[in-house]
C-alpha cells in the first residue's frame, strides 16, 4: 500500500443562516429557489408545485472537506467495507481498497476484462448483504461481446487479505448487444429483502432510444434479480409474453444512481439531455416515459420527439433539473453527524461539480442545497460513513476520495 494523500486539501465552509427549528436547515430566502439560471425549456410547465427549482436550504453547521486520497484514474463506484475501508472502482478496470487514512491498495486481482471505451469501463461496486459471512462483492461493468458490448454484473469472494476476488460469476448480462460507447448505466443497490437492483441506460444513440419502451430489451430499464442472478417470481413481468422477467421498470434514459430506503422504496436518478435530469420513485411495473415524455430539449436544440412532458400511462419524475447537474451516484443520508439530513437524498453532480442535498417530505422535494462546491471537481459517487460523514469520489484523471464532515 502507498500513501497517496492525507489531508492534502482541507476547506472549511461556514454556512450561516437564520436558526431553523432543528438547528440544521434554514431557508436562504423564504421560498426562493436555489436554481436561478435560465431553463433550457422555459415554456415547459411542471406537472405539480415543487417538481423543479426547489427552495434553497442551508446547513447551519460549519463543514470541512478533506482530500483523503488522490491519484485515482476516473473513479466511478464507492462502497464501504464493514471495517471502514472503501472499495473504489476505476473506469479502466481496476478495483482498489482505500483506508480511511488514505492508504491506497494495489489493484484487486481477478476481475474480468472491461470495455473501457467512452462511458464504459468498470462501473459500480457494492458489498453483498451477507458479506460478514461470505465476503461476496458485486460489480457492474461494460463487457465486450460478439457484435459490440453491453452492461454485465458479476460477483465474487473478496479474499481474506483483500488482494483478489475468487470464484467470479457473471450473474447478469444485459441484452441486446450494441456496438456503442454510451449510456451503460449502471448503479447497484441491495434492498432490505436481499434483492439486487441494477440500473441500465438505453445506449444513447437514436436507433436505440425506443428500446427504453420495449419490454423485450433490457435497455433503459431498472432490473431486479436475486443475489445469485435468478429472477424473483414476484417481478412485475414474470410470465408475460415478450417481456424479459428481470425488468422492474421501464422508460429510463441513463440511470447512474440508485438508493433503496429501509422501507423498500427505490429511488433512482437519471441523466436528461439539455434539461430533464430526473429523480424518480422507481416502482414495479411503472413506465417513466423516456423517450416519449421528458423535460428539457435535445442537445442540438429543439424538442425531444414530439416535445411531450407527460403521456398517459407514464409516471412523472418526483423532481427534475433544468438546466442539468448531470447526476452520478446517489444515497439516502442516515447518520449522527448531520441529524437534520436524515432521510435526505444526496446526489453526486458531475457537470455542476457539487453534491445536491434534497430534502424530502411525503416523497416530494421541498428543499435543495449544494455541498462540496469549493472542491471544483466532477463528483461521481457519494456514500455515508459509519460516523455520518459524507464520502465522495471525483471523476477526474487525478480522481480523489474526499470526506465531508463537521468542522472541529
Residues tagged active-site: 183
Coil, strand or helix at 210: helix
H-run or E-run covering 289 = none
- Kind and range of the H or E element at 116? none
Distance linking the first and last C-alpha atoms of the chain: 29
Q: Which residue shows C-alpha cell 435530469?
A: 277
How far is residue 390's CA from residue 406's CA, in Å, rounded to a whole number? 10
Return the C-alpha cell found at 64: 470541512
Under a CB-based contact definition with an 8 Å cutoff, are residues 143 and 150 in contact? Answer: yes
Closest by Cα among 63, 62, 69 to 9: 69
Beta carbons of 206 and 219 less than 8 angstroms apart: no
Closest CA to 396 of 91, 74, 104: 74
**For residues 173 and 77, what is the distance between their CA atoms, to the nearest angstrom?**
19
Torsion 299-301-302-307 (CA) sign = positive
| Neighbouring residues of 47: CB distance < 8 A, sequence distance ≥ 6 | 309, 310, 316
How far is it, in rounded angstroms, from Cα 375 to Cα 273? 25
Element (H, E) at 134: helix 131-134
In sequence order, what DSSP letters do the residues of 136-150 get, joined into one string?
Answer: EEEEEEEEEETTEEE
Using alpha carbons, list the distances in angstroms from residue 267 to 146, 190, 257, 274, 402.
33, 12, 8, 22, 24
The DSSP code for 43 is T
Considering Cα of 66, then 69, then 75, then 79, what sign does the dihedral take?
A: negative
Nearest to 155 by CA among 142, 143, 171: 171
Amino acid at each position: 500500500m502507498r500513501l497517496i494523500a492525507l489531508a492534502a486539501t482541507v476547506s472549511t465552509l461556514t454556512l450561516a443562516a437564520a436558526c431553523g427549528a432543528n438547528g440544521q436547515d434554514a431557508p436562504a430566502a423564504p421560498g426562493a429557489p436555489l436554481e436561478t439560471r435560465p431553463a433550457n425549456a422555459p415554456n415547459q410547465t411542471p406537472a405539480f408545485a415543487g417538481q423543479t427549482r426547489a427552495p434553497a436550504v442551508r446547513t447551519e453547521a460549519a463543514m470541512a472537506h478533506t482530500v483523503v486520497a488522490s491519484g485515482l484514474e476516473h473513479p466511478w463506484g464507492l462502497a464501504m467495507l464493514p471495517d471502514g475501508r472503501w472499495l473504489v472502482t476505476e473506469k479502466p478496470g481496476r478495483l482498489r481498497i482505500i483506508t480511511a487514512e488514505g492508504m491506497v491498495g494495489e489493484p484487486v486481482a481477478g476481475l474480468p476484462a472491461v470495455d473501457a471505451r467512452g462511458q464504459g469501463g468498470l462501473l459500480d461496486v457494492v458489498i453483498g448483504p451477507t458479506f460478514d459471512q461470505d465476503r461476496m462483492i458485486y460489480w457492474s461493468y461494460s463487457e465486450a461481446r460478439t457484435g459490440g458490448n453491453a452492461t454485465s454484473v458479476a460477483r465474487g469472494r473478496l479474499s481474506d487479505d483483500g488482494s483478489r476476488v475468487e470464484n467470479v460469476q457473471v450473474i447478469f448480462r444485459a441484452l441486446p448487444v450494441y456496438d456503442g460507447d454510451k449510456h451503460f448505466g449502471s448503479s447497484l443497490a441491495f434492498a432490505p429483502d436481499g434483492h439486487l437492483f441494477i440500473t441500465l441506460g438505453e445506449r444513447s444513440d437514436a436507433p436505440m432510444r425506443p428500446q427504453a419502451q420495449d419490454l423485450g430489451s433490457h435497455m433503459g430499464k431498472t432490473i431486479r434479480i436475486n443475489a445469485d442472478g435468478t429472477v424473483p417470481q414476484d417481478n412485475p413481468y414474470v410470465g408475460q409474453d415478450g417481456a424479459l422477467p428481470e425488468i422492474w421498470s421501464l422508460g429510463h434514459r441513463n440511470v447512474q444512481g440508485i438508493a433503496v430506503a429501509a422501507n423498500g422504496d427505490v429511488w433512482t436518478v437519471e441523466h436528461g439531455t439539455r434539461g430533464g435530469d430526473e429523480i424518480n420513485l422507481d416502482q414495479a411495473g411503472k413506465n417513466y416515459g423516456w423517450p416519449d415524455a421528458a423535460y428539457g430539449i435535445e442537445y442540438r436544440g429543439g424538442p425531444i420527439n414530439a416535445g411531450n412532458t407527460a403521456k398517459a400511462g407514464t409516471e412523472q419524475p418526483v423532481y427534475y433539473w433544468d438546466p442539468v447537474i448531470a447526476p452520478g451516484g446517489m444515497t439516502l443520508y442516515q447518520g449522527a453527524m448531520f441529524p437534520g439530513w436524515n432521510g435526505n437524498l444526496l446526489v453526486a453532480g458531475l457537470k455542476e461539480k457539487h453534491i445536491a442535498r434534497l430534502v424530502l417530505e411525503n416523497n416530494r422535494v421541498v428543499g435543495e442545497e449544494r455541498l462540496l462546491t469549493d472542491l471544483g471537481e466532477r463528483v461521481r459517487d457519494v456514500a455515508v460513513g459509519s460516523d455520518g460523514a459524507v464520502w465522495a469520489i471525483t471523476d477526474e484523471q487525478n480522481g480523489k476520495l474526499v470526506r465531508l464532515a463537521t468542522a472541529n
